[in-house]
Structure 1
Amino acid sequence: MESPAQPAEMDLTDELLEEVFVRLPTSADLARASMACTSFRRVITGHAFLRRFRRLHPPPVLSILAADFLAAQPPHPSAAAARAFSDPEAADFLCSFIPSPDRWRRRDFCDGRFLLSAVPEGSDPTRRGYDPRALVKHLAVCDPLYRRYLLLPAIPDDLAALVHQSDIASFQPFLCPPAEDEEDTMFRVICFAQCETKLVAFIYSRSSGQWHPVEFDGWRDLTAGTSYPYPSREPELSRRHYAHGCFCWVMHWVSKLLVLDTRSFKFSINLPPAPLSRRMAIVEGVEGKLGLFTLCRDIENAISFLFNGALARSNPANATSHPEAAEVYLPQMTVLEV
């Protein structure tokens, strides 16, 4: 009697295994799969695979960090983990572990890291604020959960000489997420120097450990003929927005958007599909597009409406139509704050 035919073994290549593992819903499932055998563990612990998995499965939000640690609450799936970090002993959000903590001021928070700037020499360290016009050369990045910090190298003098302190209207240091091909432990820092005749971004990369400058050539033309720095009685640039790897600012006096693409680190100008206002947000749209939500008011007809539309990555100079724009009219008593 013939023995039954044995099923053919499927030859699962590393590429096929990656396609299976990347579809696991959580990192806990991925960890359990890695313990099944050495071949599974080899694939799962590969840096390229982990970067891909993290892009598709970003870590859950634990809290909003404002004046205090605002932990996620039930029924949010992160509530249990967030509750653990609510314990004052679990993390040091004051960054008191950095040497001479009174010398540092918090400037930004992103991806679980604080960006601190040093109080300039000769300044009063007991003052709680900072001068938004001061060119800050000394910065530190802190991890409040693991109580670790990194002192960044100072912006070199030859780069800092690209701007003059007396010309600076605003100097904004902020954190930038790592590039797609970098590990999560990497980060970048941008120092955004806005002057009367030029706009310069000083960029630090943790992977290279160096600073390099990027200048926006069209800044002088945009500010020509205006009573800069407050040509329309508005702040010269709006607060930052971040979506799909781009930082965006509203230029109030010309009703345009300034965009810095963090993949190429090039500036561009975008023509928005709607009137710009303080009550607006730039969000991540489909297919890599930037989306715009803005709250508009028709005072004459006593109505409000929420405008949403898609922004091209770079609009041609004669762009006038935005077929993907839409308006949603709101009830008279509706109040929205963006």
Structure 2
Amino acid sequence: MPELQVGERHWDVAAASNLLDALLAAGVAVPHSCRAGSCQACLVRCVAGEPEDAKPDALDATRREQGWRLACQCRVSGPLQLEVFDPRKDALPAQVQACDLLSERVLRLRLLPQQPLRYRAGQHLLLWTADGIARPYSFASLPGEDASLEFHVDCSRPGAFCDAARLLQVGDSLRLGALSGGALHYDPDWQEKPLWLLGAGTGLAPLYAVLREALRQEHLGPIRLVHVASSSQEHYLAGPLRELAERHPQLHIELIEGAALSDFLATLRPTSRQTVALLCGRPDAVEAISRRLYLAGLPRRQVLTDLFLPRA
């Protein structure tokens, strides 16, 4: 049986065990969320040995060369000596600039990193509290607009990170962990194509950033942004979106309540097969919209999705 070593601890595990499961079963505190290799919360560094990695391309070349692996995507095939990601030395410090409610359910968190962070609209960043609670969030901010970073935290249900975030005050410290790709982005080659941005809940956050990136790059085609929320009060960016629509005639905003989603889907038909659709939010809403677009004739390669998976 292969042996795992973390610090001074040694123990045997069954061959082909999932590395994250093996660590958690032994009481090693490894943050984790999606278990799909997307959130990148479960980083571990291989000091000696090499696991079988199902998603070697999930991490950039630099981090892989440094020995980092995603525990949820690895299987134990031989002895391994590991280090668990330590935010105190492996993460970038940041200071809370603002922490306020945009609606009853959505908390806006603005952070100023200790040094500039290079990212693009549509990416995720792992946020760490001072107590070691980690959770990935998509950027709602746009690179170059401001030195601070903005995130929208869904506080509709209890969760370790969102419960801690509600208690944050201006001047408090967080740490910024792994930056991950995310499926959403803006491609300049889309400039003349119809662009649809459809988000549910805080799935609006990365789409809001992608929208501003498209407008900054002077997108010429029509842009349709749809936000699905539980109630009219939860269209938490309605004001800023309408202001953008007033300044950009190619932008059309639609605010849909969850109870009306089925009726809305029945009318959802792209006017052009060149349409590019970006979808983000909870899995049930994203999958329903994606399925409707496919049935309406939009090629799957032109539908990009980012699922906000439930907390593990």
Asked which structure has the greater CA Rg, the reply is: 1
TM over 0.5: no
Decide which structure has greater helix share: 2
> What is the TM-score normalised by the length of structure 1?
0.24
Larger relative contact order (CA 8 Å, sep ≥ 6):
2
> What is the TM-score normalised by the length of structure 2?
0.25
